[in-house]
Structure 1
Amino acid sequence: MMSSMTRQTLGTLLAKQGILIAFVLFMIVFAIANQRFIAMDNILGVVRSSAIIGVMALGVTFVVIGGNLDLSVGSMMSFSTIVVLDLHDKIGPAMAIPAMFALTLLLGAFIGFLVGYLKLNSLIVTLGMLSAIHGLTLTWSGGKNMDIADKSGTWFSFFGQDRVLGIPVPILIFALLAVLLSLLLSKTAFGRQVYAVGGNGQAATFSGIPRARVVFMTYLVSSFCVAVAGLLQASRSLGSQNTVGQGQELVVLAAVILGGASLLGGSGTVFKTVIGVLILGFIQNGLLLMGLDFYVQYMVTWAIIILAVWLDVAAKRGHLWSPIA
């Protein structure tokens, strides 16, 4: 019979690393089902295709830990992609990239001002901004899709198509950004303030933490990550529909929550968000290799996400079912 100390150790391990254990189990199951799943080119392909969602999820992690939501990232990514593609041919990529970042950060600052300083509900604000930014994107593009005129003569494709030491550049950018933002969240005073504001905003204010400024900065971090995602998207295809980010905000939020961040704020890590992103990516890839129809994939993906989150929550509270009936 398992000793109480062993059970306690296993319980602690599951509570802290439940989502990581679930990820490993998913990988094992899919690898057994199809050997192609663990081929290096398949793994790199999945991570590369997940990089854009992953980059946005890194920024939304800050917002969610801070106790808020950001449903505008999908339409904001469409805006960033369209803007940088349009400006590429007009002023050149060297000027188009910083201009796009500046405009995207301006949108993030506006949302941060509404939520942080005016203290408006983040769900309502970002849901409204989802539509507003989509309208802004259509206005900018004139309702048309964007393409770079000379696709063979631009270095702009480096960010989305090239490799460094055999590793796709989007993966390297995703990994570098994850490391930097993880350090920002876990090793700096700002990161501790984000956790404090999300955990108990009123107590944080009484402790002297500038709550409004912290919330404002989380939306700046989120918009910066969206700009990076827009750059990767535009560079990968050198052209885009003006609705390229439509619906991505829900996938991003699912990855963040799947990674263990609480919608109530105050908990979560960048590392676990990366795991959440990879779980979504590898689940879809594994189901595809198993030959399931796309509509079946949606249902199975949903079921696996619910199961993974349930097991993670159950491990943290020590019960499969809530003790409160």
Structure 2
Amino acid sequence: MTLNKQDIGRLLAKQGILIAFIVFMIGFALANQRFIAIDNIAGVIRSSAILGVMALGVTFVVIGGNLDLSVGSMMSFSTIVVLDLHDKIGPALAIPAMFALTLCLGAFIGFLVGYLKLNSLIVTLGMLSAIHGLTLTWSGGKNMDIADKAGTWFSVFGQDRIMGIPVPILIFALLAAVLTLLLSKTPFGRKVYAVGGNGQAATFSGIPRARVVFYTYLISAFCVAVAGLLQASRSLGSQNTVGQGLELEVLAAVILGGASLLGGSGTVFKTVIGVLILGFIQNGLLLVGLDFYVQYIVTWAIIILAVWLDVAAKRGRLWSPIA
């Protein structure tokens, strides 16, 4: 069986990022044997869990045809709030209070985008700055630390293990499983795909488009709150800019997983794969001796490649027919 140029183009358009990932993995393994060591693989998955949890929520937003660029600053807010309240009212009350405040931010964004039908890019870009300002106001411009780090059970979420598996990995896996069922096996999940695929047609079909969009942002905010909890519990202290820039990595992971920026396509499972692709590529770059800031350039290049392949998959070829 032979492949012509058109077949190769379709293959690269649909599976190009996976092919590139395999090439990267082989190259990194040859460059440094430690790359394929069990402890390194487990470490990459654990360090990717926080980003992955955030990406799970953003997957719903993107499939629904919108964007969420506020997740990085919202994660900073969640982390600072739970750390601050930990010493004031105790972790048992601080955790639900943080979740409630974070969900309020998600509900506000969902109201603006869903019910007022404002552009999601503009709204979440504005909220990125607004929430960052809110975080600095809450913290007084200072970083947060738990006073009694040795005497709190709060560290269980970010530092403990269950049957030898780090708790962050278990939380990431459990949340991914639950959201997979929600997206693929429930009427709500089908409505998210319908709204993202053709919002006007979904409305004419009786689907409450505004409500669906609103709930996707609530799901995103919930996942951000979980990520903030993991971040705060892992370090028991944090800078007030801990989530700055993560929105770019989250979006890269979601798009790498095959979710379309045009909406209507994508899965939670593929987002998990996208998160791992990004994590292993960044880890490989460090192991071969490149400085950490090179990751930003590589992340940008990966996003461009992923968007190009996404558009190419839609038109069935890598290059524009009028080019």
Bucket of the pairwise TM-score, normalised by the shorter protein: over 0.9
1:85 partner SS: helix
Report what 1:156 is aligned to: 154
Report what 1:230 is aligned to: 228
Quick check: 2:64–2:196 contact (8 Å CA) kept in 1? yes
For 1:154 and 1:294, how far apart are their aligned partners in 2? 33
CA positional deviation for 1:241: 0.9
1:137 partner SS: helix
> Equivalent residues in 2 for 1:1-325 (5 A)?
2=2, 17-307=15-305, 310-311=308-309, 314=312, 317-325=315-323
For 2:119 and 2:303, how far apart are their aligned partners in 1? 27
Look up the equivalent residue of 2:244 and give its one-letter code. Answer: Q
Per the alignment, do residues 132 and 24 of structure 1 end up closer, same or farther by CA in structure 2, a change over 3 Å counting? same
Deviations 1:175-217 (A, max 9, x none): 1111111111111110110010011100000000000000000
Q: Which runs of 5+ in 2 are unaligned?
A: none
Look up the equivalent residue of 1:186 and give its one-letter code. Answer: S
Equivalent residues, number: 322
Per the alignment, do residues 309 and 36 of structure 1 end up closer, same or farther by CA in structure 2, a change over 3 Å counting? farther
Look up the equivalent residue of 2:142 and give its one-letter code. Answer: K
Per the alignment, do residues 17 and 27 of structure 1 end up closer, same or farther by CA in structure 2, a change over 3 Å counting? same
Quick check: 1:56–1:252 contact (8 Å CA) kept in 2? yes
For 2:288 and 2:176, how far apart are their aligned partners in 1? 30
For 1:312 and 1:127, how far apart are their aligned partners in 2? 23
How high is the TM-score relative to the length of structure 1? 0.92
Look up the equivalent residue of 1:175 and give its one-letter code. Answer: A
Deviations 1:87-134 (A, max 9, x none): 111111111111111111111111111111111111111111111111
CA positional deviation for 1:29: 2.3
Look up the equivalent residue of 1:100 and give its one-letter code. Answer: M
Per the alignment, do residues 39 and 308 of structure 1 end up closer, same or farther by CA in structure 2, a change over 3 Å counting? farther
2:74 partner SS: helix
Q: Which runs of 5+ in 1 are unaligned?
A: none
For 1:286 and 1:183, how far apart are their aligned partners in 2? 32
CA positional deviation for 1:304: 4.6
Quick check: 1:79–1:242 contact (8 Å CA) kept in 2? yes
Look up the equivalent residue of 1:272 and give its one-letter code. Answer: K
Look up the equivalent residue of 1:135 and give its one-letter code. Answer: G
Quick check: 1:23–1:275 contact (8 Å CA) kept in 2? no
Two-structure CA RMSD over aligned residues (Å):
2.1
1:291 partner SS: coil
Look up the equivalent residue of 1:166 and give its one-letter code. Answer: G
How high is the TM-score relative to the length of structure 2? 0.93
Look up the equivalent residue of 1:112 and give its one-letter code. Answer: G
For 1:300 and 1:140, how far apart are their aligned partners in 2? 34
Look up the equivalent residue of 2:22 and give its one-letter code. Answer: V
Quick check: 2:9–2:317 contact (8 Å CA) kept in 1? no
CA positional deviation for 1:261: 1.2
Deviations 1:29-71 (A, max 9, x none): 2112211001111111111111111111110110011011111
